Amino acid sequence: MIDCIPFFTNTLPNFMSILIRNGRVITASENAIADIFIEGETITAIGTRLEQTADYVIDASGKYIFPGGIDPHVHLDMPFMGTSSSDNYETGTRAALYGGTTMVIDFILQTQGKSLRHALEAWQGRSNGNAVGDYSFHMAVTDFNDQTKEEIRELIEQEGITSFKTFMAYKGALMIDDRQMIGLMQEVKKYGGLVTVHATNGDMIDYLIAKHRSEGKMAPLYHYLSQPEVTEAEASGRFAALAGYTEVNGYIVHMTCEGALNAIRDAAKRNHNVKAETCIQYLMLDASLYEQNFEGAKWVMSPPLREKKDQAALWGGINQGAIQVVATDHCPFKWEQKLMGKDDFSKIPNGHPAIEHRMELLFSEGVAKGKINLSKFVEVNSTNAAKIFGMYPQKGTIGIGSDADLVIFDPSEKHTISAQTHHMNVDYSAYEGVEVTGKVKTVLLRGKVVIDNNQCLAEKGNGKYIKRKTTAM
């Protein structure tokens, strides 16, 4: 039995069994001090004073134990706006593990005019053998036609891709019209899948971008002013109406504002099944960041950051169960890449880095500041994403038979976020200098210690592609 990790090595043997003693085990429904026994990749016993002997024992006294975090909205190594997001599957999933996120779901983007299979192969080419943490894919359908329609069933039943992303914006590149949307919804509904959406009114946004540019208004602030709240509220309501009409399971990604939240509350009154995700940045940061000169480009993302009143609405939506998931939309670009839009906000690559800090920021802002309780934290950090995206109870909880994806967390340790110490492949932090309460200490992925004391003990290729089932919600 080894009871501490030798400090001179950065690898651990693959233990056949691990016993974690005396941690406070917290799931979406339970909260108690217990021991967890792991054999191979799986949790096989939970209880007080377990008597199993293990190859390796971890003392978690005074710590919380959470299910591994799930971030269902990331973009790794993604070609976009003439460049590529700067974290690849290795750097991105490794940074995620440092922050307690053991699984991510990335987006495959269909090229208009080509098949879904063609896009899947391109994403497999970049991800295979490279991920450190576990991952899965959503399929973004950007061109729904008779050929695409034929591929839906195969993706759900053979590839474990059960969620289909749509864009109501980015005309000419990613956007589908309402006719294609309805067709896709009806096809996905047949096989029990989920349709997700980037819900903003693309035509309104294109009009406002052109207007601002024609007036010589080129600063990052005009990125924000080109996407007012109404563009998101209108599209969210329209999506919910179409999802209700076709009776498909719907899901709105990166919801930012009160207007969009109220649109799905209205849909819920009509018993339409539309779930919603927000992202950590919309809960913490606001549009005043765009009022500086080009620095504001760090937070140029779509939809943009909103107002303080929207943050209050989103926390309310989480507590009321109208918003089920907190993700990141992690899509980092180095400063040099952001400079592509130095003279024109519409050329700034959209996206910001957050994959590493989602869980600690959500704990610090949410739990430590009293906005959400511990069980809600686990729900929106992990459990609900596992249920909605068809991985529960393999992922998203601490239970007998579940994958041993676990985060041992010190709820009181304070630390400060900085680009000097983060592990993402990007040369600035969107949260530079933010002091956080609560720190990830040890992370297990499928029964293997992958992070311990600020060291990553797993190599690329350790991450596994997870085939998903249809939604359990």
Contacts to Zn ion by CB under 5 A: 329
Give min distance, CB of 75 to Zn ion, in A: 6
Nearer to Zn ion, 165 or 446 (CB): 165
In three-state secondary structure terms, 24 is strand
Please report, as a single letter, which amino acid is at residue 175: M
Tokens at 71, concatenated: 């971030």
Nearer to Zn ion, 75 or 448 (CB): 75
Please report, as a single letter, which amino acid is at residue 428: Y
Give the Cα separation of 262 and 370 in Å (integer).
Answer: 24
Nearer to Zn ion, 329 or 365 (CB): 329
Nearer to Zn ion, 77 or 329 (CB): 329
Tokens at 31, concatenated: 């909260």
State the first-to-last Cα distance of the chain, in angstroms, to the nearest integer: 42
**Which residues lie across from 455 on neighbouring strands?**
452
Give min distance, CB of 329 to Zn ion, in A: 4
Tokens at 226, concatenated: 């080109």
Give min distance, CB of 198 to Zn ion, in A: 7
Give min distance, CB of 301 to Zn ion, in A: 8
In three-state secondary structure terms, 201 is coil
Q: Give residue for tokens 């052109």.
A: 210
Nearer to Zn ion, 85 or 148 (CB): 85
Residue 177 burial (C-beta neighbours within 10 Å; 0-12, 13-18, 19+): exposed
Give min distance, CB of 73 to Zn ion, in A: 6
DSSP type of residue 324: -
Give min distance, CB of 34 to Zn ion, in A: 37
Instruction: Count the Cβ atoms, other than its own, within 10 Å of residue 135.
Output: 23
C-alpha R_g of the chain: 21
Give min distance, CB of 323 to Zn ion, in A: 16
Give min distance, CB of 138 to Zn ion, in A: 10
Q: Give residue for tokens 């606001």.
A: 286
Nearer to Zn ion, 87 or 329 (CB): 329
Q: Phi then psi for 348, rounded to 5 degrees? A: -75, 120
Give min distance, CB of 127 to Zn ion, in A: 17
Please report, as a single letter, which amino acid is at residue 350: N
Which one, of 177, 186, 179, lies nearest residue 246 by Cα? 186
Nearer to Zn ion, 330 or 387 (CB): 330
Nearer to Zn ion, 64 or 224 (CB): 224
Please report, as a single letter, which amino acid is at residue 11: T
DSSP type of residue 289: G
Nearer to Zn ion, 254 or 422 (CB): 254
Q: Alpha carbon 350 to chain centroid distance?
A: 16
Nearer to Zn ion, 80 or 465 (CB): 80
Give the Cα separation of 169 and 167 in Å (integer).
Answer: 5
Give the Cα separation of 333 and 447 in Å (integer).
Answer: 33
Give min distance, CB of 397 to Zn ion, in A: 26
User: Which residue is at the shortest CB distance from Zn ion?
Assistant: 329
Tokens at 160, concatenated: 């474990």
Q: Phi then psi for 21, rounded to 5 degrees? A: -105, 140
Contact 349, 81 (CB under 8 A): yes
